[in-house]
Amino acid sequence: MLSKNTVKFIKSLHQKKFRNQEQRFFVEGEKSVLEVLNSTFEVELLLATETFISANRVLISEAKTELIPVTQKQLEGLGQYQSNDSALAVVKLKSNEEFNYPAGELVIGLDDVRDPGNLGTIIRIADWYGIKHLVFSQQTADFYNPKVIQASMGSFTRVNFFYTDLKNIFEKWDVPVYGAFLNGQNIHQMTKPAPGIILMGNESQGISGELEKLVTQKVTIPGFGAAESLNVAIATAIICDNFKRLLP
């Protein structure tokens, strides 16, 4: 039975303060809940309709999570979705553990990308292009923000990430850093780039001056119309596509 305390707890997880305090976040909607049940994340509690339970009994049993059957009406208002007719999962946060640079691979670095929708979309883009590792500045949007989880469409379960001082990590890794700038080299003219870090900057300020000094090569996406700039997530996709086309 769904208690008032459980409802209050889930609603508190909309706020970063309580996600950090409880070390929990929530995932909602059929696709994302199925993704997280099939992932290495630990699902602590599952609220699900009878339809969802009936269709996924084996997976739910294997997850060994607490299950509370609920109605669609009970699910409404708990999360971000206006209508959720399937499930909502409460999941444990993963620790913010540093990983070593994965030799021969591309890594996406985000310098103060603040919009949760942009972050979630970039995570989905990374997953599409097979980029498994991302590093974020401390001011980048919270990975576990419900809007990030929603925008990633399940891709949050297939990437590794950590929040850090980007300056320190770039100096430690000592690999090429490709920074997105309006005055960089035309990315269409690049030939045989080495694997390294694709660095994207803040939505309005771009890459900080401190990190600009560590950029090995500035790159830009050529424009052919009158728009002043591109959305950071769209720009990330275009740059990733060009790198994947050029790298062996």
d(CA 120, CA 134): 12
* pLDDT band at 32; cut points 50, 70, 90: very high
High-pLDDT (> 70) share of the chain, %: 100
Instruction: For residues 186-214, give the mean pLDDT.
Output: 96
Q: Say whether pLDDT at 200 is over 80.
A: yes
- Which amino acid is residue 243, in one-letter code? F
Fold of 4-92: 60s Ribosomal Protein L30; Chain: A; (3.30.1330)
CATH topology for the 107-246 domain: Alpha/beta knot (3.40.1280)
- For tokens 């890794």, the residue is 173
Q: What is the pLDDT of residues 96-130, one digit of tens each?
A: 999 999 999 999 999 999 999 999 999 999 999 99
The pLDDT score that the predictor gives to residue 232 is 98
Q: Collect all residues with Cβ–Cβ distance below 8 Å to 246 and sequence separation of at least 6.
A: 190, 191, 192, 193
Tens digits of residue pLDDT in 41-86: 999 999 999 999 999 999 999 999 999 999 999 998 898 887 888 9
Q: Characterize the bridge pairing of strands 107-110 and 197-200.
A: parallel
The whole-model pTM stands at 0.95
Predicted pLDDT of residue 77: 85
Q: Which pLDDT band holds residue 34 (cuts at 50, 70, 90)? A: very high
pLDDT over 80 at 5, yes or no: yes
Enumerate the domain spans of the chain.
4-92, 107-246
Confidence band (pLDDT; 50, 70, 90) for 236? very high
The secondary structure of 153-188 as a DSSP string is TTGGGG-EEEEE-HHHHHHHH---EEEEEEEEEEGG
H or E segment to which residue 30 belongs: helix 30-37
The answer, yes or no, to whether residue 248 has pLDDT greater than 80, is: no
At residue 83, the pLDDT reads 81
